[in-house]
Amino acid sequence: MVVRRMAVFLLGLMFLAPLLTSPVEAEQRLKVVTTTGMIADAVRQVGGDLVEVKALMGPGVDPHAYRQTRSDIVAMTRADLVLWHGLYLEAQMEEFFHDLSRKRTVVAVAEGLPKDVLRGHDDYDDKFDPHVWMTPILWKQVVTQVQLALSDARPEAAEAFAANARNHQAELDRLASYGAELLAAVPAESRVLISAHDAFGYFGRDYGFEVLGIQGISTQSEAGLNRVSELVDLLVARNVTAVFVESSVSDRSVRALIEGAAAKGHEVQVGGELFSDAMGSDNTYEGTYVGMLDHNFTTIAGALGADVPERGMNGKLSAGL
């Protein structure tokens, strides 16, 4: 009887153990706040179960114009680690981050990239194009910076972070190869990408596309009538038949291009919506970095004349093309 009671007691402890230990494990997780969803995804990939991450900017949010809210400030001041992009992406928040860094660990993860791999900024001589997530090869280096920041904050988990980073970077290599193969199938004369703002410069550099934005690198730059007129003339002269809207930027200027071309007897269609400065909806494939780039690669290639897999690299895209 005593043995039986002891067995029941031990069995009960086995069922209670997760309930008793889970709150402690949650408390032990490294609390990380990031600005963009892309950085948050990198933290999840590298940190795994050892981190708890919150992104300030959700789907469709423009980081160029974003300003911190009261709830953002509370979240960041309570975090163990704050990761922002840098390279003047979060231009409206830079002063706040410099102030916060005197009280909390704050890291601008894209600032660690070598300057010789960065494109110049079209509005500021001393700054660079921040849109490095547009090519997986550059984003691998940002993932390394995320790994280093997490390891500095939690040294005892450094080996786990390094292993997770290597696994994710291998996935990014596969993504880069997929993009290269798919985009190489676009006819040479069709490799012109026109979108709302100049967010795709690194994409164009890596994959051999001419990239033209109606606005500059920052969405805060104005799209003048002269710029729209120039691009309309280009659409007609080079027989460009597809332009792209962006999930985080108004499509007004893109629609103006289409209407301008139509007025000159040239038909142009929207080739699709691209993710530029923010990822897709939460809890979707496109709401991950790999899904975001898979969507962009597949959408661009398909709209400009290549044969593409209906559901992308992993067969997970939300809608066929």
User: Residue 224: pLDDT band by 50, 70, 90 thresholds?
Assistant: low
> Is residue 246 pLDDT above 50, yes or no?
yes
Whichever domain contains 198, its CATH number is 3.40.50.1980
3-state secondary structure of 64: coil
Instruction: Encode burial over 283-315: b for 16+ CB neighbours within 10 A, e otherwise.
Output: ebbbbbbbbbbbbbbbbbbbbbebebbebbbee
Whether residues 163 and 189 share a domain: the answer is no
**pLDDT attached to residue 13:** 39
Whether residues 33 and 113 share a domain: the answer is yes
**pLDDT attached to residue 14:** 39
> Is residue 131 pLDDT above 50, yes or no?
yes
pLDDT in tens, 43-91: 999 999 999 999 999 999 999 999 999 999 999 999 999 999 999 999 9
**pLDDT attached to residue 249:** 80
User: Residue 316 domain-assigned?
Assistant: no
Whether residues 162 and 216 share a domain: the answer is no
Whether residues 12 and 76 share a domain: the answer is yes
- Residue 203: name the closest of 179, 219, 231, 239 by CA: 179
* Number of domain units in the chain: 2
Percentage of the chain beyond pLDDT 70 is 88
Whether residues 12 and 143 share a domain: the answer is yes
Lay out the sheet containing 81-84: strands in order across: 51-55, 30-34, 81-84, 106-108
- Residue 298: name the closest of 274, 270, 280, 268 by CA: 274
Mean pLDDT of the chain: 89
Specify the range with the lowest mean pLDDT, choosing from 15-24, 149-158, 282-291: 15-24
Whether residues 107 and 216 share a domain: the answer is no
pLDDT in tens, 83-100: 999 999 999 999 999 999
Alpha helices in the chain (DSSP H): 2-28, 37-47, 70-78, 94-100, 136-153, 158-184, 201-207, 225-237, 252-263, 289-303
**pLDDT attached to residue 219:** 52
User: Residue 313 domain-assigned?
Assistant: no
Whether residues 75 and 197 share a domain: the answer is no
Q: DSSP character for 1?
A: -
> Is residue 223 pLDDT above 80, yes or no?
no
User: Residue 311 domain-assigned?
Assistant: no
Whether residues 220 and 159 share a domain: the answer is no
Whether residues 57 and 129 share a domain: the answer is yes
Please give the full DSSP string across 87-130, using - where no structure is assigned. TTTTGGGHHHHHHHTTTS-EEEGGGGS-GGGSPBPSS-TT-B--
User: Residue 318 domain-assigned?
Assistant: no
User: Residue 312 domain-assigned?
Assistant: no
> Torsion angle of alpha carbons 228, 233, 239, 244, nearest 10°?
0
User: Residue 225: pLDDT band by 50, 70, 90 thresholds?
Assistant: low
Q: Around 11, how many Cα atoms within 13 Å sit in the side-chain half-sphere?
A: 6
The domain containing residue 217 runs over which residues?
184-303
Average pLDDT in the 244-259 region?
A: 86
Whether residues 175 and 30 share a domain: the answer is yes
Domain boundary among 154, 179, 204: 179
> Is residue 173 pLDDT above 80, yes or no?
yes
**pLDDT attached to residue 50:** 98
Average pLDDT in the 219-246 region?
A: 80
